[in-house]
Amino acid sequence: MGEVRNKQVILRNYVSGFPKESDMYLVEGKITLKLPEGSNDVLLKNLYLSCDPYMRNRMSKFDGSEIEGFNAFILDSPLVGYGVAKVIESGDPNYKEGDLVWGITQWEEYSLVPSTYIVFKIEHNDVPLSYYTGILGMPGMTAYAGLFEIGSPKKGENVFVSAASGAVGQLVGQFAKLTGCHVVGSAGSKEKVDLLKNKLGFDEAFNYKEEPDLNAALKRYFPEGIDIYFENVGGKTLDAVLLNLKIHARIPCCGMISQYNLIQHEGVTNLANLIYKRVRMEGFVVTDYYHLYPKFLEFLLPHIREGKVVYVEDIAEGLENGPAALVGLFSGRNVGKQVVVVARD
């Protein structure tokens, strides 16, 4: 194959505060659909791209204290993130033309990436391919590892999930329900609260924006206290949760989206409760748990096929709508997992 068009979403500026669509721009370049001679890389046609809150951190210019794997995006280059792609040509014998894969790719129509960027080959295609950006990809693994490996839920325990209608939160709640837990979620609109209670099977849910006193709200929903808090937002929510934990509670710490766009981060004042209640609070990075992926699929695929676990996606069609979709995460505009469709096959 010869030279073809290659649309790309490029980072224009490093971001301070809330990101804007104008911090990115769309260009139309060219790419030759042929591996360079002797290359071990993989040439991909991108199909579905994942919009994830952690990407906001990589849009900032770091001060040299960045953690490996979380380094800043490169200005005037395409954004980088998780996606589903089809292999066009491979210099790695583990992949061949036509294979479907998920892993790290670039925000463009075609990408030439090291084969190490691929996390797994997609073996099960009786479910929507877009699911590998969410329920069967990084967010799904995040929910699974955080809840089961750190949270260790037991039947009858009380579980609170913040950002509960998001890509990770909606799964944490459903997985906890499968375990026999009592599950309450918080979200930022009536539509999302209704979704949690009526489609995703949460026992209760509330709109945190309508609660002037989060401590009082949590006491109302958890009169006996919280056994597991799946942390997605940080800030005021975490501070209120710390007042409502049971002894030996667990807090898998996945994200703190309420803080990502603040120039001055909010303080947390109730940390002494970690001591008094003998609480285990543990941050984690999902890549540390990718070795569990086969076990994860064995657990989850039957539940998806039987309709016992459902997944809500918010689909943006076309790369040109990628910047708006990504920025929308930080105002809560999306309902469910935000996906950008580059191509469907």
In a domain, 277, yes or no: yes
> In this structure, are 75 and 100 located in the same domain?
yes
> In this structure, are 170 and 256 located in the same domain?
yes
Q: What is the pLDDT of residue 324?
A: 97
**Domain region containing 251:** 138-287
Kindly give the pairing relationship between strand 226-230 and strand 204-207: unpaired
> In this structure, are 172 and 86 located in the same domain?
no
Average pLDDT over residues 203-227: 98
Average pLDDT over residues 142-156: 98
Instruction: Give the 3-state DSSP-derived string for the chain, with helices as H, strands as E and coil as C.
Output: CCEEEEEEEEECCCCCCCCCHHHEEEEEEEEECCCCCCCCCEEEEEEEEECCCCHHHHCCCCCCCCCCCCCCCCCCCECEEEEEEEEEEECCCCCCCCCEEEEEEECECEEEECHHHEEEECCCCCCCHHHHHCCCCHHHHHHHHHHHHHHCCCCCCEEEECCCCCCCHHHHHHHHHHCCCEEEEEECCHHHHHHHHHCCCCCEEEEHHHCCCHHHHHHHHCCCCEEEEEECCCHHHHHHHCCCEEEEEEEEECCCHHHCCCCCCCCCCCCCHHHHCCCEEEECCHHHHHHHHHHHHHHHHHHHHCCCCCCCEEEEECHHHHHHHHHHHHHCCCCCEEEEECCCC
In a domain, 148, yes or no: yes
Q: State the CATH number of the domain containing residue 20.
A: 3.90.180.10
Average pLDDT over residues 311-326: 96
pLDDT band for 200, please (50, 70, 90 cuts): very high
Q: What is the pLDDT of residue 319?
A: 97
pLDDT at residue 63 greater than cutoff 70: no
Q: What is the pLDDT of residue 228?
A: 98
In a domain, 273, yes or no: yes
What's the whole-model pTM score? 0.90
Average pLDDT over residues 123-150: 95
In a domain, 296, yes or no: no
Instruction: Select from 39, 35, 44 the least CA-distant residue to 117.
Output: 44
**172 vs 95: CA distance, rounded Å:** 32
Share of the chain above pLDDT 70, in %: 97
**Domain-ending residue, one of 287, 304, 323:** 287
> In this structure, are 327 and 261 located in the same domain?
no
pLDDT band for 345, please (50, 70, 90 cuts): confident
> In this structure, are 20 and 124 located in the same domain?
yes
Average pLDDT over residues 264-287: 95
In a domain, 172, yes or no: yes
> In this structure, are 94 and 207 located in the same domain?
no
Q: What is the pLDDT of residue 69?
A: 55
Q: What is the pLDDT of residue 67?
A: 55
In a domain, 55, yes or no: yes
Give pLDDT tens digits for 69-125: 568 899 999 999 999 999 999 999 999 999 999 999 999 999 999 999 999 999 998
In a domain, 297, yes or no: no
pLDDT at residue 68 greater than cutoff 60: no
Share of the chain above pLDDT 90, in %: 87
Instruction: Select from 151, 219, 134 the least CA-distant residue to 184.
Output: 219
pLDDT band for 62, please (50, 70, 90 cuts): confident
In a domain, 305, yes or no: no
Q: What is the pLDDT of residue 259?
A: 85
Give pLDDT tens digits for 41-60: 999 999 999 999 999 989 99
Tally the domains of the chain: 2
> In this structure, are 219 and 204 located in the same domain?
yes
